[in-house]
């Protein structure tokens, strides 16, 4: 996650776990809430569903795009990706003519953002979250 993104972040000192959760080849799903500076429609949903190709030729796996709100020059969307390439979400929107103006990670693998936490706050995993992580890794 880059400095211009907020939301769910998993901190660990377990190198293999971190690699397994972050490496694009592991296909760990991540869901984001994004605001973009363009009016997106069904065509963007189809392109994301087919897998976006970046300007450098790199192709992304298909992603789920849900348009929550749209008006002239603005869309609020939810996007789920199963990779984690460098600035992937921002590059995907650029490929359809939109710039991300706000990005918040809502889910990461088996974890959901704790909406009770304020920006900058953190907490340890609960026992049930640790169990979910064990099941996820099996």
What are the catalytic residues?
A: 2
Distance CA 104, CA 43 (A): 23
What are the Cα distances from residue 100, in Å, to 11, 93, 124, 125?
A: 25, 7, 30, 30
Tokens of 84: 């984690």
Distance CA 138, CA 89 (A): 27
CB-CB contact of 85 with 92 (8 Å): no
């Amino acid at each position: 996650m880059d400095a211009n993104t907020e939301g769910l972040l998993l901190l660990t000192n377990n190198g293999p776990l971190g690699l397994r959760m972050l490496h694009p080849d592991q296909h760990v799903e991540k869901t984001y809430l994004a605001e973009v500076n363009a009016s997106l429609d069904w065509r963007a949903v189809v392109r994301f569903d087919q897998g976006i190709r970046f300007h450098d030729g790199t192709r992304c796996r298909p992603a789920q795009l849900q348009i929550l709100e749209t008006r002239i020059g603005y869309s609020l969307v939810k996007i789920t990706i199963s990779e984690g390439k460098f600035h992937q979400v921002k590059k995907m929107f650029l490929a359809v003519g939109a710039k991300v103006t706000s990005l918040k990670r809502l889910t990461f693998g088996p974890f959901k953002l704790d909406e009770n936490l304020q920006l900058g706050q953190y907490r340890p995993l609960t026992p049930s979250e640790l169990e979910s992580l064990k099941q996820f890794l099996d």
